[in-house]
């Protein structure tokens, strides 16, 4: 092979490899030339320094480099730095070439290389290859690995009676175990983690120091002799004594007790999923009336007893991230009907810690494993905090003494329309960044109110935080502040810009507005939704953006949520929206969808709707309805809304499916779950040209629904027709907008697109009309992904103002 062909091959195989001299980049051929340094009469020696960035700490990368260097007979050294990993390598050019190729092609399973920079260095005559102590530098650019599920090797050892870690609930290696939740600072070394409190025993230290051992430099490495241990208490903090505490906890669960169990990112509240009395008691104590509860089963065979598993869902269930996966129920199943009432799905995960596997090994079909918190508060991570906050819920506490530095809820995903869709992106996936198309300034985006996440940017990386919940109380706000501080420290980001939602009363908005010495940029809610999807699909505008959700503060001070926008990253225009209607009682109309039903019916029929024979009037007193009518007519506490989410609520209430909700989105979800057989029928729809945009009229749809009810059509068939109507309406509307703008790319975002029928149906309808359609697959379509859009919009606005 010629030198030129070697250079071309390097360039082809390593398109992400950036090669720098002191002042300029070199071609691959120059790279080949400049690395050669003849130290003897016969053999050319390459002396090369590599700086590797990405997820390369805490994932066995240095041991991998060490073993790779020995495999090729190379000399030099490798070390962790605050920027990633540095490698100095010396040897023949052919061996160096093979080393560089394998560095990326055969890296450890949890490693993710984003960039390699290389530079010439004179050969120093290393006698062997060594792993050096970590180096601190002022720049911190390394990516931190997410927490990962126990690997197959550790799982085999866990249940091997001959292994010294038999049934040890904290077994781990470089390929699995805690990462992000135990890190206090970087580099990722034991003194910077919560494992600093545990000195390794002689055997563990020997493994840690052995480059050919799977636990070489595994920072959480430990065993029963030197590492963390479990303890069992009752809710009065009295210690429960037993030879096998995990077995004792399993016995308590089988008797129907609620056991708070400390996991990887926080506490779970666990009960036997086959025990309806225990599930009901958990719901009552936790104040979680109807929202589905997550399940955990020991293996796939047990999951198949109560749920259907498709092949792509099996891949997700068994992945090292171990998310909760939404699976279709088997209706002849042994589990309590109280786990997921009025829902076709179960949310299921496999165990991801050794402790989980040990607990579930005692022949449970499934355990309910729901977040260890009182509803609407952050999950507990500290033992004492758990006793205080969960003492009135849990009967017993299975705890351990390895500290959790940063809480992280379970991630939730669903397979829809051929892709994985995030409902919640948290444990197992954060803090892996979304990789942006262009470099942006260092920005803090503070997110929305519901399903809050924050986003910090650096270079081409956008780091979304874990799910923090609804930012509506002091406890969650403190979690929000702590997360911002923690992320800024471990990512070494000093934001120059703060981005926030237009809504003046969001706590995230007030936080951003209170920051000093920083540029502050407000971003409209639905603009951010569309740009978040554009960012993960690496799109530039303009595009047609359909942004559908429940609530978002508009530029006119009204509540938006059924928006068709023409979007560029730095600006947007509102092309169309659902016609405004009153939202009587404001936030009360979200909790009580019957109020929106009254608003839609009054808009469609006037006061004559009171003479209709609807299920609504069987459960809601006419006196209350007349009060709502008075509020609407007098414009008392009845803000105007264009929300598609509220339309779903209103239709669900008109059909008698759901008049009050126990959790956000419940009415809309149950309306989708009510759908019957497929239909080609739809209701009439129309829009009219307003001053600046099209207004989609709602009353033709409402009138059609009521007429079908009067004819005796089942709610399931009406729900199907309603969904078909929305798909046809918005695909036709996009055709009109294409005729006016010439745009043929449509971006879909917003919480309403968690509706699988609408997402898949609208994508198909648009593609049949020759549109290119872009959807979310890296971040949630709901408000959990909006901070990404805020950051990218703020960067574009700042750039346009420079």
pLDDT recorded at residue 5: 40
pLDDT recorded at residue 137: 53
Nearest to 58 by CA among 147, 150, 151, 171: 147
Treating both helix axes as pointing N-terminal to C-terminal, what angle do 594-605 and 644-654 enclose, rounded to 10 degrees?
90
Residue with tokens 């989980």, as numbered in its chain: 356
Q: How many CA atoms lie within 13 A of 428 on its CB side?
A: 25
Pairing of β 543-553 and β 17-19: unpaired
| Residue 3: pLDDT over 80 | no
Q: What is the mean pLDDT of the chain?
A: 91
Is-contact 774 537, C-beta < 8 A? yes
Predicted confidence band of residue 38 (pLDDT cuts 50, 70, 90): very low
pLDDT recorded at residue 403: 97
Mean pLDDT of 730-735: 98
pLDDT recorded at residue 219: 92
Determine which of 34-38, 587-591, 650-654, 796-800 has the lowest per-residue pLDDT on average. 34-38
| Residue 9: pLDDT over 80 | no
Contacts 24+ apart (CB under 8 A), 471-474: 471/447, 471/506, 471/507, 471/508, 472/376, 472/507, 473/376, 473/377
3-state helix, strand, coil in the chain (%, to 5): 35, 25, 40
Q: pLDDT tens across 545-602, in order?
A: 999 999 999 999 999 999 999 999 999 999 999 999 999 999 999 999 999 999 999 9
| Residue 212: pLDDT over 70 | yes
Q: Which residue has the higher pLDDT, 480 or 377?
A: 480
Predicted confidence band of residue 8 (pLDDT cuts 50, 70, 90): very low
Q: pLDDT tens across 340-360, in order?
A: 999 999 999 999 999 999 999
Residue with tokens 């050919």, as numbered in its chain: 212
Mean pLDDT of 632-660: 96
Q: Biggest alpha carbon distance in the chain?
A: 103
Residues 6 or more apart whose CB falls under 8 angstroms from that of 775 comprise 417, 419, 421, 533, 747, 748, 749, 753, 759, 763, 781
| Residue 789: pLDDT over 90 | yes
Q: Which residues pair with 272 in a beta bridge?
A: 367
Residues 6 or more apart whose CB falls under 8 angstroms from that of 626 comprise none
Q: Is residue 717 classed exposed, middle or buried when 0-12, 13-18 and 19+ CB atoms within 10 A define those classes?
A: middle
Q: pLDDT tens across 97-126, in order?
A: 899 999 988 988 888 888 888 887 888 888
Model-level pTM? 0.90
Q: Record the tokens describing residue 109, joined without a space.
A: 């399973």
Chain mean position to CA 583: 31
Separation CA 673–CA 670 (nearest Å): 5
């Amino acid at each position: 092979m010629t030198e030129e062909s070697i250079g071309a091959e390097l360039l082809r195989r390593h398109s992400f490899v950036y090669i720098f001299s002191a002042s300029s980049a070199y071609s691959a051929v120059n790279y080949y030339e400049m690395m050669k340094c003849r130290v003897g009469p016969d053999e050319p020696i390459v002396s090369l320094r590599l700086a590797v960035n990405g997820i390369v700490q805490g994932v066995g990368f240095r041991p991998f480099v060490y073993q790779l260097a020995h495999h090729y007979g190379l000399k030099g050294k490798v070390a962790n730095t605050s920027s990633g990993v540095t490698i100095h390598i010396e040897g023949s050019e052919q061996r160096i070439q093979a080393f560089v190729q394998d560095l990326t092609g055969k890296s450890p399973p949890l490693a993710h290389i984003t960039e390699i920079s290389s530079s010439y260095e004179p050969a120093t005559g290393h006698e062997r290859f060594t792993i050096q102590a970590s180096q601190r530098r002022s720049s911190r650019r390394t990516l931190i690995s997410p927490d990962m599920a126990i690997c197959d090797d550790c799982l085999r050892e866990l249940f091997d009676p001959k292994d010294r870690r038999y049934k040890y609930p904290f077994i781990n290696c470089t390929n699995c175990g805690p990462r992000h939740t135990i890190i206090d600072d970087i580099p990722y070394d034991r003194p910077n983690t919560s494992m600093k409190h545990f000195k390794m025993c002689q055997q563990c230290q020997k493994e840690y120091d052995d480059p050919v051992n799977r636990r070489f430099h595994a920072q959480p490495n430990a065993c029963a002799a030197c590492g963390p241990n479990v303890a069992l208490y009752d809710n009065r903090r009295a210690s429960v004594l037993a030879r096998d505490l995990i077995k004792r906890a399993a016995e308590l669960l089988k008797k129907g007790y609620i056991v708070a169990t400390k996991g990887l990112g926080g506490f779970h509240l666990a009960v036997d999923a086959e025990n309806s009395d225990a599930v009901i008691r958990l719901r009552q104590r936790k104040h979680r009336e109807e929202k589905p509860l997550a399940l955990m089963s020991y293996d796939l065979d047990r999951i198949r007893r109560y749920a259907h598993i498709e092949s792509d869902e099996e891949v997700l269930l068994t992945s090292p991230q171990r998310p909760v996966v939404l699976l279709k129920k088997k209706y002849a199943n042994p589990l309590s009907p109280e786990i997921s009432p009025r829902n076709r799905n179960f949310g299921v995960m496999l165990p991801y810690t050794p402790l989980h596997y040990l607990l579930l090994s005692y022949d449970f079909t499934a355990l309910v494993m729901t977040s260890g918190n009182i509803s609407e508060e952050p999950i507990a991570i500290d033992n004492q905090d758990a006793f205080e906050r969960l003492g009135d819920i849990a009967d017993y506490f299975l705890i351990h003494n390895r500290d959790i530095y940063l809480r992280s809820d379970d991630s939730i995903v669903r397979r829809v329309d051929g892709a994985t869709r995030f409902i919640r992106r948290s444990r197992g996936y954060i803090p892996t960044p979304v990789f942006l198309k262009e470099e942006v300034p260092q920005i803090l985006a503070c997110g929305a109110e519901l399903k809050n996440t924050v986003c910090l940017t650096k270079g081409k990386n956008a780091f979304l935080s874990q799910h923090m919940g609804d930012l509506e109380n002091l406890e969650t706000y403190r979690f929000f502040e702590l997360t911002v501080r923690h992320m800024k420290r471990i990512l070494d980001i000093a934001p120059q810009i703060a981005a926030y939602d237009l809504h003046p009363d969001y706590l995230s908005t007030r936080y951003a507005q209170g920051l000093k010495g920083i540029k502050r940029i407000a971003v409209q809610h639905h603009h951010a939704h569309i740009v978040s999807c554009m960012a993960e699909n690496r799109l530039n505008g303009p595009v047609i953006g359909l942004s559908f959700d429940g609530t978002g503060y508009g530029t006119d001070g009204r509540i938006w949520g059924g928006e068709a926008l023409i979007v560029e990253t730095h600006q947007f225009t509102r092309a169309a929206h659902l016609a405004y209607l009153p939202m009587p009682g404001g936030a009360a109309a979200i909790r009580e969808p019957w109020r929106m039903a009254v608003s839609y019916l009054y808009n469609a029929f006037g006061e004559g709707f009171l003479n209709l024979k609807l299920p609504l009037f069987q459960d809601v007193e006419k006196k209350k309805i007349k009060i709502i009518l008075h509020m609407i007519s007098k414009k008392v506490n009845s803000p105007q809304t264009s929300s598609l989410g509220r339309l779903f609520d209103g239709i669900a209430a008109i059909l008698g499916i759901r008049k009050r909700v126990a959790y956000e989105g419940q009415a809309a979800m149950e309306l989708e779950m009510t759908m019957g057989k497929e239909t080609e029928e739809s209701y009439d729809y129309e829009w009219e040209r307003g001053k600046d945009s099209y207004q989609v009229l709602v009353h033709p749809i409402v009138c059609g629904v009521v007429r079908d009810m009067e004819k005796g059509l089942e709610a399931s068939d009406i729900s199907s027709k309603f969904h078909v109507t929305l798909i046809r309406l918005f695909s036709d509307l996009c055709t009109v907008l294409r005729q006016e703008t010439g745009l043929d790319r449509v971006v879909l975002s917003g919480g309403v697109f968690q509706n699988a029928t609408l997402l898949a149906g609208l994508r198909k309808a648009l593609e049949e009309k020759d549109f290119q359609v872009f959807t979310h697959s890296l971040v949630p379509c709901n408000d959990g992904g909006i901070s990404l859009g805020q950051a990218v919009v703020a960067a574009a606005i700042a750039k346009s103002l420079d």
